[in-house]
Amino acid sequence: MKTAVVILNWNGLTFLKQFLPTLIQNTTDATIVVVDNQSTDESLAYVQENHPEVELILNESNGGFAKGYNDGLSQLKGRFEYYVLINSDIEVTENWLIPLVKKLDEHPEIAGVQPKVLSYHKKTHFEHAGASGGYIDKNYYPFCRGRIFDEVEEDLGQYDNDKEVFWTTGACMLVRAVVYHRLGGLDEDFFAHMEEIDFCWRAKKQNLSFYVVPSSKVYHVGGGTLNYENPRKTYLNFRNSLFTIHKNHEGWLFGKVFYRLILDGIAAGKYLIGFQFKHIFAIVKAHNAYFRSIKVLNRKRKQITKESTHFNREGLYKASLLWAYFFKRIKKFEGLNKRFFIHKD
């Protein structure tokens, strides 16, 4: 077995019961591993009693999504060529893994790939976290083929071609083990959310690439651990976005961060209009956390710059997604002006 399909679990008994049997049934030629992040429910007992073929790794602490995977995959180092990072709330389809592995087998320059991610609850539509491949705009707002902000498209086969993208979703990503470990894995200071964008960005600065392979299809519940409307998620998304920009932006950092802080303030105003005061507090808290972390972020930025070779900019959109969405009323990826997408040098 050259591939390990790795689920990071924390009190996910319900999802394990629902989706692990299907994963086992539809996954051939791979070792399935559950990495447990100090669960207090009956997750471990369920796996041990019902699926002894699944390998279990018990983390010593719960350090969140990023540290959880780093701790678990460190124990698999040297055993596998590929890792699949897959959420416990993913339903896979028949032969889902085959085209993903084939893509990496045939293209050594590709660091990672993702399947097409559809909504489990509305299977005709894309799911927010990944859809058919991830991009970022000039202000580093992430979006996907099939999803711009909260606008999710129906899947009509319009994005069914293999495509190089800027980032692949952490909900279901096949990545080369050697690349994962060389980059130091996911940034543990992120805890959860957007760590895969940071990971892909760092890899692309070493001239690696990421692809979506839509012939592989999975269904994602989404928000399984932390609901999309939870202020905690708002905090992590705003803080981690600033972390990612600080670490990876090339050019005048102060200007880029300052402009992003202004945009965050506008977002807070939107929450104010909706009387969502907990989300406003979450943004303020995120900014405070960012400023407290600048010294650490500077060290990471310096190290990333030192290790960079050639920046593969494929997947960058050199225009404002905010302008396209709110002023030009573009709600679908295919409506974005193609001349603003940067392609390889």
pLDDT at 226 over 70: no
Express each pLDDT in 328-344 by its tens digit. 999 999 999 999 999 87
Model pLDDT, residue 225: 55
Count the Cβ atoms, other than its own, within 10 Å of residue 276: 16
The residue written with tokens 């071609």 in the block is 161
Backbone Cα Rg of the chain: 19
Could you give the count of Cα atoms lying within 13 Å of 119 in the half-sphere of its Cβ?
16
Residue count of the chain = 345
**Confidence grade of residue 223 (pLDDT, cut at 50, 70, 90):** low
3-state secondary structure of 25: helix
In whole angstroms, give the CA distance from residue 61 to residue 137: 36
Q: Which amino acid is at 92?
A: V
pLDDT at 276 over 80: yes
Mean pLDDT of 285-314: 97
The DSSP code for 275 is T
In whole angstroms, give the CA distance from residue 32 to residue 103: 20
In whole angstroms, give the CA distance from residue 236 to residue 294: 16
Count the Cβ atoms, other than its own, within 10 Å of residue 230: 15
pLDDT at 261 over 70: yes
Express each pLDDT in 163-178 by its tens digit. 999 999 999 999 999 9
The residue written with tokens 């707002």 in the block is 141
**pTM for this prediction:** 0.95
Burial of 187 (0-12, 13-18, 19+ CB in 10 A): buried
In whole angstroms, give the CA distance from residue 122 to residue 146: 14
Q: What is the sign of the dihedral through the CA atoms of 23, 24, 29 and 31?
A: positive
The DSSP code for 327 is I
Model pLDDT, residue 246: 98
DSSP sequence for 262-315: HHHHHHHHHHHHTT-HHHHHHHHHHHHHHHHTHHHHHHHHHHHHHH------TT
Count the Cβ atoms, other than its own, within 10 Å of residue 45: 11
Q: Which amino acid is at 309?
A: T
In whole angstroms, give the CA distance from residue 49 to residue 17: 12
Specify whether the CB–CB gap between 132 and 116 falls below 8 A. yes
In whole angstroms, give the CA distance from residue 79 to residue 197: 26
